[in-house]
Amino acid sequence: MPALERAAGVYVAYSGGLDSTVLLHALATSFSGLVTALHANHGLHDDAELWARHCAELCDQWKVSFRSTRLQLNDTGDGVEAAARSARYHWFETCVEADAVLLMAHHQDDQAETLLLRLLRGAGPQGLGSIPTTRALGHGSLLRPLLDIPRSDLAGYAAQHKLSWIDDPSNTDTRFDRNYLRQEVMPLLAGRWPGYRSTLSRAASQLRELNEHLPGPALPTVHGSLGDPGFQVEDLPREPALAALALRRWLRERSLVAPPAARLSEFLRQVRHGSGARLCGSGWTLERYRAAVYLCPTGLDPAPGILTIQPGQALHWPVMGELALKAEGEDLSQLSLRTRRGGERLAMVDGHHKDLKTVFQDLAIPPWWRSGLPLLVRSSAAGEELLCVAHLLRSPRAVSSGIELVWKSEGIR
């Protein structure tokens, strides 16, 4: 695979099952010393820790770097499987650096199952394209080199090389839709149409090609006051089906996976009825604010406590990047940084004071930013004085004293 030879890093999503074990073994043999295995421990089975140790031991045996994490699952209403998938892909995205490649072991049987599942769930043209061979993943890319290979061939490879793997008992639990298809439906299809896997895989490929040529209406991108990308509500097509296509395209252009059609349609319905509409996906959130919908940055939890800062000092602030303080000959011993507590007021040029809430509204600061923006304050016996609201606004005293916060943004999409 020439793409791997040029990659900044080569990663394999390694669950320990048959499919990923075969892929990892093949890559470890061909790209010795260049491969890192990523094992996501979902904590959903009593033997999850044993499985992680099994994976670590095989990686040590094959001279493969190994990284594992225990995932925290956040069920957004789509079930534990979807929550596990969302957490897993979000972690993968944080692991894969720019120009690196993550390989996954989805095969032809997975493709056929996915197409049938999405048909049964009423997926549209985008969803019926099923599993793509490659796509962007954060700053890197995701590659599935086994999509044209049936699982039986992988089992033959594993037997030939005497590989050991984990059999997750939940994979035979037919209460789960995919397992029911695999255990009960697919054998019936194979009995009547032996070549159904390649036929369904070809159909999915043709649908993907069609989607690439008919991507849906384009939504012009706008940016909020702090750089969040978004689109104007008035730019959404009035026809619901076209609006859904346009939003899916907008998300896809940012390498984001759209949620199921029902959730997407409900979000668009809420968007048309005013502010507050929110849609949560795999590691991302869309929210309407005023006349636009914005992609909110993740990890906007307020910084802890009160932080001191000196002139020229670079201070990392969550999501926002590096803050630095500029000052000219002022006593800075009483200056500190903190986040909003409520009740703050900023002095204005005309001598009046304005509530911070009103300042945020005047500056069109979206609600998701307000609790995490850094505030520069001066403490004295008389109380606190608000000098700077991030890099956005300064009090007259801060201006006259040459006090300024400089912010280099890094976390906004």
User: Where do the H-state alpha helices sit in 315-381?
Assistant: 356-362, 367-370
Mean pLDDT score, 101-116: 95
What architecture (CATH level 2) is domain 222-296?
Up-down Bundle (1.20)
Residues of the chain with CATH 1.20.59: 222-296
- Position 257 scores a pLDDT of 78
301 pLDDT above the threshold of 70: no
Question: What residues form DSSP beta bridges with 134?
Answer: 143
Please report, rounded to a whole number, the percentage of residues in the chain having pLDDT higher than 70. Answer: 93
Q: Which amino acid is at 395?
A: S
User: Which class would CATH give 2-213?
Assistant: alpha beta
**Residue 128, number of CB atoms within 10 A of its CB:** 18
329 pLDDT above the threshold of 80: no
Residues of the chain with CATH 3.40.50.620: 2-213
306 pLDDT above the threshold of 50: yes
409 pLDDT above the threshold of 60: no
- The conformation of residue 184, written as its DSSP 8-state character, comes to I
Spatial neighbors of 188 by CB under 8 A, at least 6 apart, are none
HSE-up of residue 85 (Cα within 13 Å, Cβ side) = 10
Strands 314-317 and 383-389: unpaired
pLDDT tens digits for range 171-227: 888 988 899 999 999 999 999 999 999 999 999 988 888 877 777 789 999 999 998
* Angle, alpha carbons 362-367-369 (nearest 5°): 95
pLDDT tier for residue 413 given thresholds of 50, 70 and 90: very low
User: Are the CB atoms for 257 and 251 separated by under 8 Å?
Assistant: yes
412 pLDDT above the threshold of 50: no
CA-atom Rg of the chain in angstroms: 26
Q: What does the alpha-carbon distance between residue 78 and residue 266 come to, in Å, rounded to a whole number?
A: 14
Measured between alpha carbons, how far is residue 148 from residues 108, 205, 217 in Å? 5, 11, 31
- Position 78 scores a pLDDT of 66
Spatial neighbors of 88 by CB under 8 A, at least 6 apart, are 13, 40, 42, 71
User: Are the CB atoms for 311 and 405 separated by under 8 Å?
Assistant: no
Q: What does the alpha-carbon distance between residue 341 and residue 371 come to, in Å, rounded to a whole number?
A: 8
- Position 31 scores a pLDDT of 87
Q: What does the alpha-carbon distance between residue 38 and residue 13 come to, in Å, rounded to a whole number?
A: 5
Measured between alpha carbons, how far is residue 252 from residues 126, 248, 288, 316 in Å? 10, 6, 19, 30
pLDDT tens digits for range 341-395: 989 999 999 889 999 999 999 999 999 999 989 999 998 888 899 999 999 999 9
Q: What does the alpha-carbon distance between residue 378 and residue 334 come to, in Å, rounded to a whole number?
A: 5
- Mean model confidence pLDDT for the chain: 88
- Position 408 scores a pLDDT of 65
- pTM listed for this prediction: 0.64
Phi, psi of 125 (to 5 degrees): -55, -40
pLDDT tens digits for range 144-162: 999 999 999 999 999 999 9
Q: What does the alpha-carbon distance between residue 46 and residue 307 come to, in Å, rounded to a whole number?
A: 42
Q: What does the alpha-carbon distance between residue 119 and residue 125 come to, in Å, rounded to a whole number?
A: 10
